[in-house]
Structure formats: structure tokens, C-alpha cells
Amino acid sequence: MTEQFQSDLKKATLFHGHACTGIILGVRMARAGLSYLGINDPEENRDFIVYLEIDRCLADAIQSVTGLSFGKRRLKAMGYGKMAASFIDMNTGKGVRIVMNAKQEAPEKTDQVQFWDQFPDEQLFQMEPVMVDLKPEDLPGPPVRTAVCELCHEKIMDGKDIVKDGQILCKACAEGAYYRKI
Ligand SMILES: [Zn+2]
Ligand SMILES: [Zn+2]
């Protein structure tokens, strides 16, 4: 266990609220992604984007270790429900998608950190080089495009508007919203 892992784990545990398998493996996944991109100190290199496919413990660990946030647009929630994330270089669009491969479960009453420490990254993760077509609308910086929905008249930022039957619509009007008005 390296010093870096221990300090990453401490930070992620504070951020998340408890240490769990998702946090331990999320810390490992974050570092694997960073090192693929050649980044040692994410504070010093902000030119990367992480696409999170899960919104569970693992996501908090990745957010904590990378220091990325949704508000700064360097973290993207894909909502796939998969224990996976892609770490992408913002300048080239190239990077790595890392999928959790771990089949084993830490036996009860064992030290989780010790248990997972015996497995190398290659056993825990499947890593595949990937390319993301980064759109200007998806990148950090001032909004490049805004629109107004022709149905609800709400403002839509960052190219999230959808053209349907010749109308410019927001996602909620075009595809149905996640909420119902009561
Ligand atoms: Zn957890
Ligand atoms: Zn609308």
C-alpha cells in the first residue's frame, strides 16, 4: 500500500462518508486512469474529462481523487449503471475506459483495504483504449450555444436542445421529463 493510496483513501472516505469496497476500488480506478493519461498530480493537469457510468460509491472516489466536478464540466454522469469510467485527454479526445472486473467479494470481518491490496489492477480492472468525440458544447468554458424551447419557453444551454418535427425543444418536452407536474 503506497502513501499516495492511503492519502487518497482518507480523502475519498471523508468525502463519501465511509470506507467501502466501492471507495477502495474507486480510488484504485481513479489512479489507474490518471496514470494512463500520464498524470501524477491532477491539481496540476486539468486537461482531462472523466465520464462516470455509475452513480454509486465508486463515483465519489473518482471525484475525490481526480478533484473534478460536474460544475466545472470535467465530470460527466452517463447513468449507464455500470461500474466503469472513462478518463479522456481533453486535447486529443483519447483515453481509457476502465471497467470493474473484480469477481471476488471481501469476506465478512476482514480488513477491506488489506483484502483488496492483494489483487493487482490487472485483475481488478479491464482497461480499453477509447476515443470520445468531444463537442465544443461539452467542454469547460463559457457556453458556446443557448436556445429556447418552443414549447415550454425555458432556456437551454450547451447544445442540449433537440430538433423534433422542425421544432427546437428541450429534452423534457421532446422525450418526456423525469418529473410530473402536480
Ligand atoms: Zn460506499
Ligand atoms: Zn421544453
Gap from CA of 57 to ligand 1 centroid (Å): 4
> What's the pLDDT score for residue 108?
82
pLDDT digits (tens, 9 = 90+) for 14-48: 999 999 999 999 999 999 999 999 999 999 988 99
Q: Where are the domains of the chain?
A: 3-135, 142-175
Q: pLDDT tens, 122-140? A: 999 999 999 999 999 999 9
Q: What is the mean pLDDT of residues 165-172?
A: 97
pLDDT higher than threshold 90 for residue 74: yes
Residue 125: phi, psi to the nearest 5? -125, 150
Give the count of beta carbons closer than 10 Å to the beta carbon of residue 22: 21
Ligand 1 centre and the CA of 179: distance in Å?
A: 27
Phi, psi torsion values for 64, nearest 5 degrees = -65, -45
Q: How far does the centroid of ligand 2 lie from the alpha carbon of residue 177, in Å?
A: 9
Q: 59 C-alpha to center of ligand 2: Å?
A: 30
Ligand that comes closest to the CA of residue 59:
1
- State in Å: Cα 26 to ligand 1 middle: 10
Q: Please tell me the class of the 3-135 domain.
A: alpha beta
Q: Is the pLDDT of residue 175 over 90?
A: yes
Residues in the chain: 182
CA of 87 to the centre of ligand 1 (A): 21
Q: Which residues contact 30 (CB under 8 A, 6 or more apart)?
A: 8, 61, 62, 64, 65, 66
pTM of the model: 0.92
